[in-house]
Structure 1
Amino acid sequence: MTSFIVVAAIIAAIALGYKTRINIGLFAIAFAYLIGCFVMGLSPSEVIGMWPLKMFFIIFAVCLFYSFAIVNGTLEKLSEHLLYRCRNVPHLLPYAIFFTSALIAAMGAGYYTVLAFMAPITLMLCEKTRMSLIIGAMSVNYGALGGANFVSSQSGIIFRSLMVNSGIAEEVAFINSFGIFASTMLIPLAVITVLVFFTGHRKSMQGASLGVSLPTAFNQQQKTTLWLTLLMMALVLMAPIAHLIFPDSATATFINSKMDIGLIASVFSVIALLLKLGDERKAMASVPWSTLIMICGVGMLISIAIKAGTIDMLASWIGTNIPTSLVPLAFGVVAALMSLFSSTLGVVTPALFPIVPSIAGNLGLDPMIIFICIVAGAQATSISPFSSGGSLMLGACPNEEARSGLFSQLLFRAAPIGIVAALIFSIVLTFFF
C-alpha cells in the first residue's frame, strides 16, 4: 500500500509543479516528509538525511566555478567566434550551432544557460538565412544537451551521482557517463545530417549570408578564464582515465582516489576569485538554485520510494512482464513520455536510474545500455513546447505570431523526429552491442 502512495506522490508532485509552475522539488520535499514520518514512521532526522548532500555539493561547486565564465562573458564571446568561422558555408550553419552549443555547455555553462543565450541567436539566424526553424531549434537544443552531458559538465555530473547513489561503482559510473555523452552526440549528428542533406535544406540556403560580423578579441580576463576552465576539465578527466589505463599502478590509484570534482571546482573557484575573474555575488547568483532544489527534492522522495520497496517492486514487474531484449527500449519510451511534461535532470533520471542496477542484474543486461536509452529517450522530447528545451525556445521568439508558429512545429515535427531517432538508436544499441 505504501508503494502505491509513494508512486501517487511522485505523479502528484510532477502534476502540481507543472500546473502551478512551483518548483517540483518543493512538492517532493513536502511529500517525502508527510509519507516518511506519518505513513512509514520514520523520524524527521531520517527524512532530512535523505537529502542527497554529496550530489548537492558537487553540482553547487562545479556550477559556481563555471559561472565565472558566464559572468565575465567568456562563453558568449566564444560562441560569437565559433559562429563567425561558419560565415562562408551557410548550409553548414546547423553544425556550427550544434558544436558551438555543445562546446559551451561542455565547458560548464549547462543546458539551460546555453539555450538562454543561444536560442535568440539561432532564431535570428533562421530568419536571416532561411534556415528551417525545426533544424535551428533541434541543432541548438541537441548541442546544449549533448555538451552538458560531458562527464565534467552539469548533466554528466548529475548522471554519475545518480548512478553512484544507485549502487554503481565510481569507475563504472564514469564509463557509463562517457557512454551517455558519446551517444547523445552521435544521435544529433545523424539527425542533423539527414535534415540538412536529404530534405532540401542545403538548396534553400545556398547563397544566403549569415551577416555575422567579426567579433572582438578575448580580453585578458576571458583568456585566463578559458585556460583555467580547460585546466580543470583536464584534471577531472586525467585521473580516472589514467587509472583505467593503468589499473595496477599504485600512483594512478592513489591520485584517482583523492580526486573529487566538487572539491577541485571549489579550489578553482577560489583561484578565480583571487585572479578577479568575476564578481562573487554575481557568480553565486548564476548558480542554478532552482535546478538544485528540484533534483535534490525529487531525490528525497525517490529515497522514500526505495525505503518503501517501491523501486524493487517496479523492477520486479518490469523484469517479469517485458521481454529482456525490449527492456532498454521500454525504458527509452517511458523516459520520452515523462520528459514531454517534466525535466530530464530533475524528474526522469532521478526516478528511473535507481531501478536500473537490479533489473540489469536480474536480466543479465549491461546497465550502461539502459542508462543510455533512458537519457536518449528523455532528451529526445525535451524540445517539446511543454518541456524545458521547447519552452526556452518559445521564450526566445520575438513576437506572439512567431511563437505560435514555432509551438506547433516543435510539438508535431521536432519532438516526433527526436523520439524516432532515439528509438532507432536504442534498438541498434540493444541488438548490436
Structure 2
Amino acid sequence: MNLGLISLILLLAAIVIGFVRNCNVGIICVGFSMILGIAYNLSIKDIIAGFSSSLFIQMVGITYLFAIINGNGTLELLANKLVRLVGKKKHLVPFVMYVLGFAICAVGPGAIPSLAIVPVIAIPVAVSAGVNPIMTAIIGDLGVMSGRMSPLTPESAVVRELMEEQGLTGNTLPIMAAITITALVTAVVVYIYYKGWQIDPSVKDSVQEKLPAFNLQQWLSLAGLVVLAVGALFFSWNVGLTGFLIGSVLLVLGCGNEKKAIAAVPWNVILMVLGVGILMNIISISGGIDIMVSALEAVMGKRTAAMIMAIASGLMSFFSSGLGVVFPTLIPTASGLSAGLGVSAAELVAVIVVGGTVAGFTPVSTTGALIMAGVSQQENAEERFPQNKMFVELFAVSFIALAILAVFSFIGVYSFIK
C-alpha cells in the first residue's frame, strides 16, 4: 500500500491511542516512524530529518527561563499587583485577568505554562473579590490564548516553521489578531452569561490587602524578561538561546533552583510536538499531504473552505493537543488547498490555529481540568459551584467559541489575513 496513505493511517492511530490510553502521541509517532522505516526501507537520515533541532532549542530555552521566573514567585506577585489596580471596580477583575493572561503568555512562555499559571492566580483573586471564579478563569485563559501567537512564544515558532516550509511568510502577528478577535467576543459572551457585573456583597474585600514588595531576585527576573523582549523584538535574537542565557544568569545570581526549573519544563509537550514532526516529515516526503489535500478539497468550496477547516481543527482539539497534533497535521495542507480552491493559504492557517486554540476549554483538556480543579478547592465549592454543572458549562464554552469561529470564518472576518 502507498506509504503516504499508510503514514496518514498511523498518524490517526497514534492520536486515537494517545487519547484512549492517555499516552504521549509524539512518542507513539516516533515508534511508528521506525516501523515505516523498516517496512519501506527508509534511511535513518530521512527519518531523523523530521526532528527539528531549532524548534527544540526554542521550546526548551523559553520554558526553562519561565520555569525559573515562575518558581521564585515573580509572575504571581506581578499578577496580584496588577489586579489591585482595579480598586473598588471589582466587576473589571475578569478583564484585568484577560489582559494579564495575554501579557504573561505573549512575553515568552506561550500558552502551555500560562494556561496553568493564570487560573491559579485568577480563581482566588475572583473569590476574594466576590466575582465568579469560573468566569474569571475562563476569561483569563482567553487572554492567554490571545497572546499565543506573539513572536516570542514557542507556539509561534512551531507555526512559523510550518508556514515557511510551504513557502508562506512566517508572520504570526495577523494570526494573533484573529485569535484576539475571536477570544474577545467569546469573553463578552461568557461575561454576559455569568452576569459578571454582579458582585457578591457578602464577600469581605481582600483585594486591597497590602502585598509585599518585589525582592531582589524578582527584580532581576523582571529585568531578564525585559532583556528577552528587547533582544527578540529589536535585535532578532533567537528566543530559545536567549532564554538559556538569561536563565543561566539568573541561576548564577541565586534567583532560582536549577533542578526544579528543569523538572518544570513541559517535556511531555515538547516530545509530543517533535515526535509528531518526525512522522509528519514521512507523510510529507511520501505524498501523504497531497492525499489529505485531495480529501479536504472534495468537501470544500471557496466559500466554505475556511469554515470547514476551522470546525475540523476545533473538533480535533477536543481530543488532542492543538500544538502537538492539530497544527502539524492541518497547517501543511494550507498551500495545497489554497492553490486548488483559490483561497488565502494564510487565512486557512489562521483559522486552523484559532480553532486549535479557543476550543480547548473542555473538561477533558488540560485547560478545562485546571479550572475545575482550582474552583473545586475553594470553600463550599460543591454547594456554590457544583462539579456536574461546571463540567457542562466548560463544554458549552468550547462549543460557543467554535461556533463564533465558524460564523466568523464563513462571513469572512479573517479575510484580512493574506
- TM-score, L = length of structure 1: 0.86
Segment drifting more, 199-208 vs 328-337: 199-208
Determine if the alignment matches structure 1 residue 180 to structure 2 residue 175.
yes
Deviation at 1:348, TM superposition (A): 0.4
| Structure 2 residue aligned with 1:70 | 70
Question: SS of 1:148's equivalent?
Answer: coil
Q: Aligned letter for 2:144? A: A
Alpha carbons 1:397, 1:403 under 8 Å: kept: no
Determine if the alignment matches structure 1 residue 420 to structure 2 residue 400.
no
| Structure 2 residue aligned with 1:270 | 248
Determine if the alignment matches structure 1 residue 19 to structure 2 residue 13.
no
The equivalent position to 2:187 in structure 1, one of 187, 192, 203, is 192
Name the count of aligned residue pairs: 407
Cα RMSD of the aligned pairs, angstroms, is 2.4
Percent of residue pairs identical:
25
The equivalent position to 1:214 in structure 2, one of 200, 210, 216, is 210
| Structure 1 residue aligned with 2:230 | 234
Alpha carbons 2:334, 2:345 under 8 Å: kept: yes
| Structure 2 residue aligned with 1:253 | none
Question: SS of 2:108's equivalent?
Answer: helix
1:320-399 equivalence runs, <5 A:
321-398=299-376
With over 3 angstroms needed to count, the CA separation of the structure-2 counterparts of 1:262 and 1:120, relative to structure 1, is: closer
| Structure 2 residue aligned with 1:168 | 167
Determine if the alignment matches structure 1 residue 318 to structure 2 residue 296.
yes
With over 3 angstroms needed to count, the CA separation of the structure-2 counterparts of 1:66 and 1:431, relative to structure 1, is: closer
| Structure 1 residue aligned with 2:51 | 51
| Structure 1 residue aligned with 2:388 | 404
Deviation at 1:137, TM superposition (A): 3.7
Q: Aligned letter for 1:32? A: S
Deviation at 1:352, TM superposition (A): 0.8
Question: SS of 1:51's equivalent?
Answer: coil
Alpha carbons 2:64, 2:265 under 8 Å: kept: yes
The equivalent position to 1:305 in structure 2, one of 283, 303, 307, is 283
With over 3 angstroms needed to count, the CA separation of the structure-2 counterparts of 1:286 and 1:15, relative to structure 1, is: same
| Structure 2 residue aligned with 1:282 | 260
Distance 2:412 2:70 in 1: 36
Distance 1:201 1:378 in 2: 28
Deviation at 1:226, TM superposition (A): 0.9
Deviation at 1:366, TM superposition (A): 2.7
Segment drifting more, 286-295 vs 414-423: 414-423
Deviation at 1:59, TM superposition (A): 1.0
Segment drifting more, 6-15 vs 312-321: 312-321
With over 3 angstroms needed to count, the CA separation of the structure-2 counterparts of 1:108 and 1:128, relative to structure 1, is: same
Alpha carbons 1:115, 1:393 under 8 Å: kept: no
Q: Aligned letter for 1:205? A: I
Distance 2:37 2:136 in 1: 46
| Structure 1 residue aligned with 2:271 | 293
Question: SS of 2:279's equivalent?
Answer: helix
Segment drifting more, 323-332 vs 181-190: 181-190
- TM-score, L = length of structure 2: 0.89
Distance 1:200 1:285 in 2: 37
| Structure 1 residue aligned with 2:150 | 150
With over 3 angstroms needed to count, the CA separation of the structure-2 counterparts of 1:216 and 1:125, relative to structure 1, is: closer
| Structure 1 residue ranges without an equivalent (≥5) | 240-255
Distance 2:177 2:263 in 1: 31
Distance 1:156 1:209 in 2: 41
Deviation at 1:266, TM superposition (A): 3.1
How big is each residue's C-alpha offset from its partner over 1:304-362, in whole Å with a ceiling of 9 and x where there is no partner?
11122110121133335411222122110100110011111111001111111232244
Deviation at 1:204, TM superposition (A): 2.4
With over 3 angstroms needed to count, the CA separation of the structure-2 counterparts of 1:112 and 1:342, relative to structure 1, is: same
Q: Aligned letter for 1:167? A: Q
| Structure 2 residue aligned with 1:242 | none
Deviation at 1:147, TM superposition (A): 2.4
With over 3 angstroms needed to count, the CA separation of the structure-2 counterparts of 1:72 and 1:99, relative to structure 1, is: same
Deviation at 1:203, TM superposition (A): 4.5
With over 3 angstroms needed to count, the CA separation of the structure-2 counterparts of 1:277 and 1:128, relative to structure 1, is: closer
How big is each residue's C-alpha offset from its partner over 1:239-275, in whole Å with a ceiling of 9 and x where there is no partner?
4xxxxxxxxxxxxxxxx5xx43333333333333333
Deviation at 1:432, TM superposition (A): 5.0
| Structure 2 residue ranges without an equivalent (≥5) | none
Alpha carbons 1:122, 1:137 under 8 Å: kept: yes
Question: SS of 2:198's equivalent?
Answer: helix
Deviation at 1:397, TM superposition (A): 3.6
Distance 1:232 1:359 in 2: 37
Q: Aligned letter for 2:160? A: R
Segment drifting more, 105-114 vs 151-160: 105-114
Distance 2:261 2:347 in 1: 37
Question: SS of 1:204's equivalent?
Answer: coil
